[in-house]
Structure 1
């Protein structure tokens, strides 16, 4: 647990009391700071409840959030309605696990977020990391993309109703693709089950990195904040995608969220302009890998083109996200 589990910047008695009441359930103390104060050096969850946001607090801690008893700005955790989400954030911010957990989400469907997640996991494994790749996205099961439908091992539906989960046993029971342990859905409906939090945390305890292929509705529900140390938002440089990416950026406000831009420049948007518009750090940009769809139709999995733009991007992400440190 961090030296300061939860720090709150606020001079509102109502906000202070509301935050303390929620976090008392988890037994987490709340250190309260006046509006002019710097955030503490080591903090799990940094909460900014002042009327005017302070960027220092937004980037402090393992997690951060705007909080209040009314909506100060878009993305504010409004109490008491947002109590469950606040509890989840506080617990996640103060967990100690082995893995760095990376979420990947597309600003809209069809951009290749699942392929990016798979290649990021594959490149990480190639650098001698133990890696788990988790399917949470809508659409076809991840195992189909990877071509491992026939590989033995557990899938999400097999974990429905599972009680206490042993991290080592779970890791050893998963199918392996290119050195990556994969937890996929299949034709049975069970993605992101009620015990998903326990499953993700078990994987985070037994691996160096966990890559989550996230659906947009899960990000909207706040699960990215519960599980992810960093979220990669994949988009293309055009107007509709920029608007969709900006909406996602608002949903993950207070987290380490970064933008990945794929494809040629359209509508005059450069990757840097896209990142500025969305309010996100630019994690990387790549040209479209035109050979990928045809390669996948021939049964090749993402990442086969070792010198392709997707693999080059993933190598840069592994470095910049400090996954191999």
Structure 2
């Protein structure tokens, strides 16, 4: 045992199996002891101690300490509370009803809250083919250079798959049909299993929709957004234009939602329809104008017609469309796409810091 991992003292095999399962979901490794006597020497050093009722029934031989949980099956009875008080238990957790609380305790050990909370950013196209997925990927790549890193999340099961866009479709790792989370989760543990897009300075984890099966469940997406914010990671969500329950959750939780709008009259009309639904969920909206207007209308006027502020104007990037079609997503550190992503990220950080004051 290392003393740096939670210590589990459980004789009941059923309860032990449940504790191990919850810890695995939270990405938390455990040290185990069959009883209090065997735990001597590790009791004081462990960041968290989890007991079952069998262990708590033994005469108390350890000094009292904080961070001791007692896990029981079903509702605790008077005897359970008596044992908990005698051993100095901080909290009694009943399974399965309070599984989220146990997962949260493990997640706190794995991932202590960052000094600076992470960002949640949403990207949605004003019309089909606006380039929202491309911009979401560029935004996540820019954010991944930060100390907390980034996570790119595909919230559009009909979008063709962000793994395909980033040439990761053959890379092993879970997609949304394989991910089922709730309550507290460890985003670092999840990110370690995901396909990654290598770039200069690191590699970006990508949680994509599968070629078949459902997209994100609202409980799973909510757990990831909370975990990302808690760990200081920027989570970028590529959102569908028609919002489902999970996408609505992302919009409502986002620090900023970016509407990507081509400089075209019909695109502005379509964007107004998308914006109408977004504005019922959040006021934290901004526009990225892309392309070149045939009528010479600048991006700032397009944003003015829509309402939200203009965050960036992104002129056409030479070779970008052809590279995307070839499955060669560009990771250029310069150019209109990278520059617009950097500007938007700067605005998002500034507004989040102002809101926190």
SS in 2 for 1:321: helix
Give the TM-score normalised by structure 2: 0.58
Q: 2:208 maps to what in 1? A: 184
Q: 1:118 maps to what in 2? A: 137
Give the TM-score normalised by structure 1: 0.64
- The answer on whether the counterparts of 1:101 and 1:210 sit within 8 Å (CA) in structure 2 is yes
1:146 aligns with 2:166: yes
Using the TM superposition, give the Cα deviation of residue 170 of structure 1 relative to its aligned residue in structure 2, in angstroms: 1.9
Q: 1:316 maps to what in 2? A: 343
1:249 aligns with 2:275: yes
State the distance in 2 between where 1:120 and 1:293 align: 17
1:212 aligns with 2:237: yes
Count of aligned pairs between the two proteins: 228
SS in 2 for 1:202: helix
State the distance in 2 between where 1:252 and 1:298 align: 32
Highest Rg: 1 or 2?
Answer: 2
Show structure 2 runs of 5+ residues with no match: 1-113
- Give the superposed CA RMSD: 2.5
- The answer on whether the counterparts of 1:123 and 1:311 sit within 8 Å (CA) in structure 2 is yes
Using the TM superposition, give the Cα deviation of residue 237 of structure 1 relative to its aligned residue in structure 2, in angstroms: 1.4
Q: 1:289 maps to what in 2? A: 317
The one-character-per-residue Cα deviations of 1:177-220 (angstroms, maximum 9, x if unpaired) are 13211111121222122423223323333342110000011279
- The answer on whether the counterparts of 1:141 and 1:184 sit within 8 Å (CA) in structure 2 is yes
Q: 1:197 to 1:294 in 2, by over 3 A?
A: same
SS in 1 for 2:206: strand
Q: 2:248 maps to what in 1? A: 222
Q: 1:101 maps to what in 2? A: 120
- The answer on whether the counterparts of 1:259 and 1:283 sit within 8 Å (CA) in structure 2 is yes
Using the TM superposition, give the Cα deviation of residue 227 of structure 1 relative to its aligned residue in structure 2, in angstroms: 2.4
Using the TM superposition, give the Cα deviation of residue 165 of structure 1 relative to its aligned residue in structure 2, in angstroms: 5.2
Q: 1:198 to 1:317 in 2, by over 3 A?
A: same
State the distance in 2 between where 1:202 and 1:174 align: 16
1:3-14 equivalence runs, <5 A: none
1:134 pairs, out of 128, 146, 153, with 153
State the distance in 1 between where 2:242 and 2:229 align: 22
- The answer on whether the counterparts of 1:185 and 1:191 sit within 8 Å (CA) in structure 2 is yes
Using the TM superposition, give the Cα deviation of residue 151 of structure 1 relative to its aligned residue in structure 2, in angstroms: 2.1
Using the TM superposition, give the Cα deviation of residue 286 of structure 1 relative to its aligned residue in structure 2, in angstroms: 1.0
Using the TM superposition, give the Cα deviation of residue 321 of structure 1 relative to its aligned residue in structure 2, in angstroms: 1.7
- The answer on whether the counterparts of 1:246 and 1:277 sit within 8 Å (CA) in structure 2 is no
- The answer on whether the counterparts of 2:173 and 2:194 sit within 8 Å (CA) in structure 1 is yes
- The answer on whether the counterparts of 1:225 and 1:255 sit within 8 Å (CA) in structure 2 is no
Q: 1:241 to 1:215 in 2, by over 3 A?
A: same
Show structure 1 runs of 5+ residues with no match: 1-95
The one-character-per-residue Cα deviations of 1:102-130 (angstroms, maximum 9, x if unpaired) are 00000111111101000111111134441
